[in-house]
Chain A
Amino acid sequence: MRILIVEDDDLVATGIKQGLRQAGYTVDLAGSAEEAERSLRSEIFDLAIVDIGLPGLDGLSFIRQLRSGDNPIPVLVLSARASMEDTVRGLDVGADDYMCKPFRLPELVARIRALIRRSNTLTDASLRHGPLALNTATRSATIDDRPLDLTNREWAILEILLMASPGIVSKDRLVQALAGWDKDITPNAIEVHVSRLRPKLAAGNIEIRTVRGIGYRMDPVAET
Chain B
Amino acid sequence: MKPVVLSLRSRLLLAIIAPLCVVFAVSATFDYRLARETADSAFDHSLADVALDLASHIRTTDESLSVALSAEAEEILRSDASDIIYFSVRDKAGRLLAGDEALPSHEALAVTRVDNQMSFADRQLHGKRIRIAMHQTASAHGPVTIMVAETVNKREHSSRRILVAMVLPSLAVILATLLAVYFGVRRGLAPLEIVESEIASRSPRDLRAIDDALTPQEIRPLLSRLNDLFALLREAAASQQRFLADAAHQLRTPLTGLQTQIDLSTNEGRFSSDPERLLRINEAMQRIGHLIGQLLTYARTEPTTNLSQSFEPVALHDLVEQAASIFLDQALSKEIDVGFEAGPATVPGIPWMLREALANLIDNALRYTPRGGVVTVSSCRRADECALIVEDNGPGIPVDERQHVFERFYRINGTPGDGCGLGLPIVKEIATLHNAEIRLEDGAGGGLRCSLVFPIPSA
Contacts and interface: CB of A to CB of B under 8 A. Distances in A.
A69 interface: no
A192 interface: no
B300 interface: yes
Contacts, number: 43
A213 B339 contact: yes
Interface in A44-75: none
B341 A213 contact: yes
Chain B contact residues: helix, strand, loop or mixed: helix
B300 A214 contact: no
A212 B293 CA distance: 29
Contacts of B339: 211-213
Given A82-B296, A213-B342, A214-B342, A168 B337 contact: no
B296 A168 contact: no
Interface in B338-370: 338-342, 351-352
Given A170-B321, A212-B338, 18 more contacts: A82-B293, A82-B297, A83-B300, A84-B351, A84-B352, A100-B293, A102-B289, A168-B325, A211-B328, A211-B339, A212-B340, A212-B376, A213-B339, A213-B340, A213-B342, A213-B376, A214-B340, A214-B342
B324 interface: yes
Contacts of B337: 212
15 contacts: A82-B293, A82-B296, A102-B285, A104-B286, A166-B329, A211-B338, A211-B339, A212-B337, A213-B339, A213-B340, A213-B341, A213-B342, A213-B376, A214-B324, A214-B340
A217 B332 CA distance: 12
A211 B340 CA distance: 8
Contact of A211 (B289, B324, B351, B352): B324
Contacts of A209: 328, 332
Interface string A147-172: 00000000000000000001110100
Interface string B298-325: 0010000000000000000000010011
Contacts of A167: 325
Interface size class of B (residues with CB under 8 A): 20 to 34
Closest 9 CB pairs of A and B: A212-B339, A213-B340, A84-B352, A102-B289, A213-B339, A214-B340, A214-B324, A168-B325, A213-B341
Nearest to A212: B339
Interface in A3-46: none
Interface residues of A, number: 16
B423 to A, nearest CB: 16
A100 B338 CA distance: 25
Interface of B: 285-286, 289, 292-293, 296-297, 300, 321, 324-325, 328-329, 332, 337-342, 351-352, 376, 378
Interface in A103-141: 104
Interface in A73-91: 82-84
Interface in A155-198: 166-168, 170
B439 to A, nearest CB: 21
A103 B185 CA distance: 68
Given A83-B300, A84-B352, A168-B328, A214 B293 contact: no
B74 to A, nearest CB: 112
Contacts of B342: 213-214
Contacts of A104: 286
Contacts of B341: 213
A107 to B, nearest CB: 9
